[in-house]
Amino acid sequence: MSEFSGTIPPRRPLTLRDVSEAANVSEMTVSRVLRNRGDVSEGTRNRVLKVARELGYVPNKIAGALASSRVNLIAVIIPSMSNMVFPEVMTGISDVLDHTELQPVVGVTNYKPEREEAVLYQMLSWRPSGVIIAGLEHTEASKAMLAASGIPIVEIMDTDGDPIDSAVGISHRKAGKRIAQEIITAGYKRIGFLGSKMPLDHRARKRFEGFTEALAKAGLEIADSEFYSGGSALQKGREMTEAILNRNAHNPLDFLYYSNDMIGAGGLLYCQEKGIKVPHELGLAGFNGIEFLDGLSQRLATMDACRNEIGRKAAELILERIDENKPSESKTITLDPTLQIGDTLKRKKLGQT
Amino acid sequence: MSEFSGTIPPRRPLTLRDVSEAANVSEMTVSRVLRNRGDVSEGTRNRVLKVARELGYVPNKIAGALASSRVNLIAVIIPSMSNMVFPEVMTGISDVLDHTELQPVVGVTNYKPEREEAVLYQMLSWRPSGVIIAGLEHTEASKAMLAASGIPIVEIMDTDGDPIDSAVGISHRKAGKRIAQEIITAGYKRIGFLGSKMPLDHRARKRFEGFTEALAKAGLEIADSEFYSGGSALQKGREMTEAILNRNAHNPLDFLYYSNDMIGAGGLLYCQEKGIKVPHELGLAGFNGIEFLDGLSQRLATMDACRNEIGRKAAELILERIDENKPSESKTITLDPTLQIGDTLKRKKLGQT
DNA sequence: ATGAAAGCGCTAACAT
DNA sequence: ATGTTAGCGCTTTCAT
């Protein structure tokens, strides 16, 4: 210990008072300058600004928020970050919020309802101005918290169900149906399904349900399926494709529907290497429209889930509900995902004529 | 307007007082129960808990933080989220913080220094308990804010430079050198470089510098280079590879070094399609060790940037500095990225013997 | 255009 | 084991 220890005052964060003393004005005036509110003479204003900058003052939002009971935070609760889909939703949200005073704060649930409940509780305890949360399925407690919060809630991604307040998304059930119809129309008959073992990914489940339903209407059913969990999705796509094709070698499949584009891309790469003729011998389709599909030599058939758009619209809904004082109603916005046929779902009707 | 309008009380968030009245104890006791602090009899405890749950009380952290001057937030400031590298860093951070009371709050800068400054200011105004920030390069104002904040700061990803406080990362300069040496040893001579137009991506720049430096020492230099910005990285990798190879057809390149794995993977796919023999005719290497490389039929040579580890260590450093009261010193932890030779950097020395 | 007083909803510190 | 008092650093409201 140096003999001078103790002479250096412990660094205490600066307060409004420090600035007000240095600038020789009341705290109130400093506050007004820093928030650009009320009348302050040009001279005082400049003096305060100068002093604040020199001192390196950073306002304490905690105190500000408590005093004004205004917290310019939007809680965003999503299942996963590494998923490629949510970063895009986040971009949409940020694009809109960047023009405002609001800023998004993200919580991740890893697809676990109890984790979602905990994260939600944490976020609500900061008294945000609004909540954007993925999905329509939540624990009873979560729903109660959301409903009781008294702030705008927007549930995103999915519109197959009843929102607590507002919702923006696509119908995954319809998306599944749509792609199934396309596959049927193209003349494929022996269809395999490859997806992830995620009982709690309700959106994947709904797509699957819509898919099988549409097949059933055409008198078809899924010939075989394969599920994975964890690991490199591209690699898993490869492995699962190999497995399901081999297993059905005696009576070959002619189409594979993947629950996401990453495993679909793995399957496509596998087929290309093995010389399997896509789409004539075997058709493929995924879901999500992830950007990197552009880099493959054949474009995988997929459906764009409107992720950026969902983010934007969700943020806009929140803004509407906050800004305006009119009793803005809750609404559900259902977007229409675009089907991209690509190069892997093109076979002409065979044996139908 | 309904004739009953005004009869529904505007939903005011519940306060401790509401709970204390309903449970017939002092606010202080409720506070103690909810935070598991101090002695509270089992009976009172249960009663309070029950009432709080029934009422749906969610504590106001804003007020709590102000009163206790403790904000259990760690600010995490990163350049990008869609990058694949930062989600992994985030996972490392969360893995460690999940066992504590602290929670990460993320801010994204898009590689813009002025944006970083703004984000930092915003975050600091919430008085977080610590800051984890990517890179060692910041504006003067940002550095000043960080230094003046009086909280633990950990700069991550990079250790080629002087940290404000602590740092965890790898030496990108050394990483560039290392891969260059490997390429030289393998006997490649005409080396192309493909990267992104990001003057502000200091880590990519440092890798490039280390790379060219090591080449220079061996009497070599970069034969040609190609840069991209925006778009699908996989696709860009393809296009740039085609462009650079064609441009040098008269005197062919025998190695391509990519500044990231995504464009590298695009290049690899291109080569495979064109029947270019990798690694004998043309060697390839990327940087980052992204998971999906596992799904390609040849493993791209790369270096793992220790992203998860960096996140973990950064969070641990912050915890050390907060938890302990000892004057824990700032330290710099330099991790050692592992080189993965893969299948694209293997040519035996030729013409050297 | 500026200031003074009160209090936002909690918790620290000190009773009891 | 429980209660009381005094703030935390701002903003609101009302004076001047």
CA gap B183, A271 in Å, rounded:
32
B121 to chain A: which residues are within 8 Å by CB? 58
Any atom of strand C under 7 A from CB of B64? yes
Beta bridge partners of A157: A169
How far away is chain B from the Cα of A215, in angstroms, using its nearest Cα?
31
- Mean pLDDT to the nearest integer, B249-273: 96
Give yes or no for a contact between A103 and B108, defined as CB atoms under 8 angstroms apart: no
Identity of the residue in A58, A125, A235 whose CB atom sits nearest the CB atom of B125: A58
On whether residue B101 sits in a domain, the answer given is no
Give yes or no for a contact between A193 and A222, defined as CB atoms under 8 angstroms apart: yes
Token digits of residue B169: 């990362």
The spacing between the Cα labelled CA in B16 and the C1' in C7, in angstroms, equals 16
Query: Does position B345 have pLDDT exceeding 50, yes or no?
Result: yes
- Domain-ending residue, one of B39, B57, B75: B57
Structural domain of residue A2, as residue ranges? Answer: 1-57
Cβ contact B232–A295 (<8 Å) = yes
On whether residue B40 sits in a domain, the answer given is yes
Model pTM? 0.92
pLDDT for B265 equals: 95
Ranking A42-51, B143-152, B291-300, B340-349 by mean pLDDT, the lowest is: B340-349
Query: Does position A50 have pLDDT exceeding 60, yes or no?
Result: yes
Any atom of strand C under 7 A from CB of A144? no
Question: Confidence band (pLDDT; 50, 70, 90) for A325?
Answer: low
- For a pLDDT cut of 70, what percent of chain A falls above it? 94
How far away is chain B from the Cα of A94, in angstroms, using its nearest Cα?
10
On whether residue A150 sits in a domain, the answer given is no
Give yes or no for a contact between B321 and B277, defined as CB atoms under 8 angstroms apart: no
Number of domain units in chain B? 2
Q: Around Cβ B159, how many Cβ atoms within 10 Å? A: 21
On whether residue B19 sits in a domain, the answer given is yes
pLDDT for B325 equals: 58
Cβ contact B62–A58 (<8 Å) = no
SS3 of B349, please?
Answer: coil
- Mean pLDDT to the nearest integer, A181-196: 96
| A73 DSSP 8-state letter | E
First to last CA, chain B: 93
Q: Which residue is nearest to nucleotide D5 (CA to C1')?
A: B28
CATH number of the CATH domain containing A210: 3.40.50.2300
Query: Does position A4 have pLDDT exceeding 70, yes or no?
Result: no
Cβ contact A81–B65 (<8 Å) = no
Q: Which nucleotides of D are covered by protein (CB under 7 A)?
A: 1-13
CA gap B270, B252 in Å, rounded:
16
Q: Which of A57, A76, A81 to mutate to test the interface with B (most CBs of B within 10 A)?
A: A81
CA gap B35, A240 in Å, rounded:
49
pLDDT for B199 equals: 87
Closest residue on chain A to B69 (Cα): A62
| Of residues A142, A80, A136, the one with CA closest to residue A107 | A80
Query: Does position B179 have pLDDT exceeding 70, yes or no?
Result: yes
Query: Does position B128 have pLDDT exceeding 50, yes or no?
Result: yes
Query: Does position B230 have pLDDT exceeding 90, yes or no?
Result: no
- For a pLDDT cut of 90, what percent of chain B falls above it? 82
How far away is chain B from the Cα of A296, in angstroms, using its nearest Cα?
7
pLDDT for A12 equals: 82
Any atom of strand D under 7 A from CB of A349? no
Any atom of strand D under 7 A from CB of B25? yes
Ranking A128-132, A155-159, B178-182, B231-235 by mean pLDDT, the lowest is: B231-235
Query: Does position B352 have pLDDT exceeding 50, yes or no?
Result: no
Q: Which nucleotides of C are covered by protein (CB under 7 A)?
A: 1-13
SS3 of A166, please?
Answer: strand
DSSP of B203-217:
HHHHHHHHHHHHHHH
Q: pLDDT: is A323 or A245 the higher one?
A: A245
Cβ contact A237–B295 (<8 Å) = yes
On whether residue A130 sits in a domain, the answer given is no
pLDDT for A326 equals: 60
A81 to chain B: which residues are within 8 Å by CB? 81, 87, 90-91
On whether residue B82 sits in a domain, the answer given is no
Closest residue on chain B to A144 (Cα): B56
Cβ contact B150–A13 (<8 Å) = yes
How far away is chain A from the Cα of B294, in angstroms, using its nearest Cα?
6
The predicted-structure confidence for A227-263, as pLDDT tens digits, reads as follows 999 888 999 999 999 999 999 999 999 999 999 999 9
On whether residue B218 sits in a domain, the answer given is yes
| Of residues B230, B200, B195, the one with CA closest to residue B112 | B200
CATH number of the CATH domain containing B11: 1.10.260.40
On whether residue B74 sits in a domain, the answer given is no
Q: What ranges in chain B are assigned the alpha helix state H?
A: 16-23, 27-35, 42-55, 61-68, 85-97, 113-124, 140-149, 172-185, 202-217, 233-247, 261-274, 307-323
Question: Confidence band (pLDDT; 50, 70, 90) for A83?
Answer: confident
| B170 DSSP 8-state letter | E
Question: Confidence band (pLDDT; 50, 70, 90) for B326?
Answer: low
Q: Around Cβ A280, how many Cβ atoms within 10 Å? A: 12
Question: Confidence band (pLDDT; 50, 70, 90) for B38?
Answer: confident
- Domain-ending residue, one of B57, B72, B102: B57
**Residue carrying structure tokens 């129309």:** A185
